[in-house]
């Protein structure tokens, strides 16, 4: 698929006083993309669309260039200590995506140009924990790889972390646009993960993202560039024939990764979950979705901020975990499963 190009771009005026802000302004002007001004990246007004749904779809194609003012990083358990805030929002249309609720009425894509401030804060966190390792997750609130061909912020973050002693970086993507990252000086401190799933889940629930084959081709390139490689299998979803679907996934992964050094390969396993507010939003935005959001079939798990999640009931979750672990053991005996959640 073609790399993402926004239909409309907003700039905070202050963003233009940073080198990346200026560079992006020139780039989008040159590309002939409509540019507007916004006083704050948190309050973008006037995204076109007659209906809420049309505005939502247009927002997902809108890029907002701003300055990150909150420099307190969120935590990012279980995969890392901190979320690295390079961007917020994503152009993908995965039906199950939690950004639909966490971003509320701001589904547009924000990128931040004050990278030096962000990296200085990351350095402070690293120093506080040294000599313990501090891991940063760069894809908590966006699919950063999918927009990085425009900003190269992730590339700079990879090189920043590569130069630290105790920092590590990780991120996950469903996009294939990795070429500009292949020559980044990562020094083995970045784990590049791809999100993969059964054919059924990708076909029905992940519109607007790269195909499985394209993700795997990108994974081969990234491994060839010496990055640590990982796969996030999420959401693990009990569709009709899920056992065969996931078996085929691992079989195909093994086939496509033949010849790649897999001595340090990780898997992260995340079962499908949803909240009540998410269900409402998903039904409005993707009214024909096949995603099964029937609370009565699930187990309620209390969560932070009083919003609980619906996960699979214990026996079903256990069956998912055991089945997926057995496939990994069969096709990738040396790989490490970091968690199932
Ligand atoms: Fe959400 Fe990731 Fe899909 Fe983007 S690619 S919509 S961040 S799940």
Backbone angles phi, psi at 144, to 5 degrees: -65, -35
List the residue whose alpha carbon is closest to atom 8 of ligand 1: 97
Of the pLDDT bands very low, low, confident and very high (cuts 50, 70, 90), residue 104 is confident
Report the separation in Å between the CA atom of 139 and the middle of ligand 1, taken as the mean of its atom positions: 10
Average pLDDT for 132-144: 98
CA distances (Å), origin 340, targets 64, 161, 271, 320, 333? 35, 27, 8, 10, 17
Which residues fall within 8 angstroms of residue 319, CB to CB, at 6 or more apart?
none
Please check the confidence at residue 305 and state whether its pLDDT lies above 80.
no
Q: Where is average pLDDT lowest: 143-157, 194-208, 304-318?
A: 304-318
**Euclidean distance between CA atoms 163 and 122, whole angstroms:** 13
pLDDT band per the 50, 70, 90 thresholds, residue 237? very high
| Residue 212 CA to ligand 1 centre (angstroms) | 14
Compute the average pLDDT of residues 308-316: 97
- The band of 278, judged by pLDDT with boundaries at 50, 70 and 90, is very high
Give the pLDDT of residue 21.
98
Contact 49, 55 (CB under 8 A): yes
> From atom 1 of ligand 1, which residue's Cα is the shortest distance away?
97
Predicted local confidence at residue 141, as pLDDT: 96
Tokens coding 60 = 């997902």
For 46-60, 226-240, 277-291, 297-311, which range has the lowest pLDDT when averaged over its residues? 297-311
CA 272 to chain centre: 16
Q: Which ligand 1 atom is at minimum distance from the Cα of 92?
A: 6
Overall average pLDDT of the 95-112 stretch: 94
Instruction: Name the region of 188 (left: φ>0; alpha: ψ -120 to 50; beta: rest).
Output: left
As given in the structure block, the two tokens for residue 270 are 């995340």
Kindly give the number of the ligand 1 atom that is closest to the alpha carbon of 96.
8
Please tell me the total number of residues recorded for the chain in this structure. Answer: 341
pLDDT-based confidence at residue 105 (cuts at 50, 70, 90): confident
CA of 192 to the centre of ligand 1 (A): 16
Q: What whole-number distance in Å separates Cα of residue 63 and Cα of residue 165? A: 34
pLDDT(234) > 80: yes
Pocket probe mutation, ligand 1, options 4, 90, 141, 145, max atoms within 8 Å of Cβ? 90
Integer Cα distance of 232 and 212 in angstroms: 13
For residue 209, give both structure tokens: 């993202």
**Nearest CA residue ID for atom 3, ligand 1:** 94
| Residue 277, CA distances (Å) to 98, 169, 200, 219, 248 in order | 10, 31, 25, 34, 33
pLDDT at 249 over 90: yes
What residue ranges line ligand 1, CB within 6 angstroms? 90, 92, 94, 97, 99, 143, 174, 209
Task: Report the C-alpha gap between 15 and 28 in whole angstroms.
Answer: 14
**Per-residue pLDDT reduced to its tens digit, 18-38:** 999 999 999 999 999 999 999
Q: What number is the average pLDDT over the span 159-172?
A: 98
d(CA 121, CA 147): 22
Owner of token pair 């079939």:
297
Average pLDDT, the chain: 97
* pLDDT value, residue 78: 86
Q: What is the dihedral of CA 3, 22, 38, 35, to 10 degrees?
A: -50
Sign of CA dihedral 4, 5, 10, 14: positive
């Amino acid at each position: 698929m073609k790399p993402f190009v926004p239909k409309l771009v907003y700039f905070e005026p202050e963003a233009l006083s940073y080198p990346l802000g200026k560079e992006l302004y020139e780039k989008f002007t040159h590309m002939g993309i409509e540019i507007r001004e916004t006083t704050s990246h948190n309050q973008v007004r006037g995204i076109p669309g007659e209906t809420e749904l049309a505005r939502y779809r247009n927002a997902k194609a809108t890029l907002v260039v701003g300055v990150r003012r909150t420099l307190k990083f969120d935590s990012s358990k279980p995969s890392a200590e901190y979320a690295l805030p390079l961007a917020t929002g994503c152009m993908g249309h995965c039906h199950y995506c939690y950004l639909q609720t966490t971003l509320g009425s701001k589904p547009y894509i924000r990128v931040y140009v004050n990278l030096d401030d962000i990296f200085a804060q990351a350095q402070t966190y690293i120093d506080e924990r040294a000599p313990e390792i501090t891991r940063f997750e760069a894809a908590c609130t966006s699919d950063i790889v999918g927009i990085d061909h425009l900003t190269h912020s992730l590339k700079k973050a990879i090189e920043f972390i590569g130069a630290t002693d105790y920092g590590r970086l990780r991120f996950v993507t469903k996009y294939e646009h990795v070429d500009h990252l292949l020559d980044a000086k990562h020094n083995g401190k970045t784990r590049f993960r791809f999100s993969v799933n059964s054919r059924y889940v990708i076909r029905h629930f992940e519109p607007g993202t790269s195909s499985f084959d394209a993700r795997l081709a990108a994974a081969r390139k990234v491994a060839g560039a010496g990055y640590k490689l990982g796969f996030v299998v999420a959401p693990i979803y009990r569709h009709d024939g899920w056992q065969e679907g996931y078996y085929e996934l691992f079989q195909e992964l093994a086939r496509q990764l033949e010849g790649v050094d897999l001595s340090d390969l990780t898997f992260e396993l995340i079962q499908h979950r949803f909240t009540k507010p998410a269900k409402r939003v998903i039904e409005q935005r993707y009214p024909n979705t096949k995603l099964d959001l029937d609370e009565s079939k699930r187990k309620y798990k209390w969560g932070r901020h009083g919003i609980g999640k619906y996960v699979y009931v214990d026996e079903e979750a256990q069956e998912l975990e055991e089945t997926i672990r057995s496939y990994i053991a069969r096709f990738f005996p040396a790989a490490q499963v970091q968690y199932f959640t």
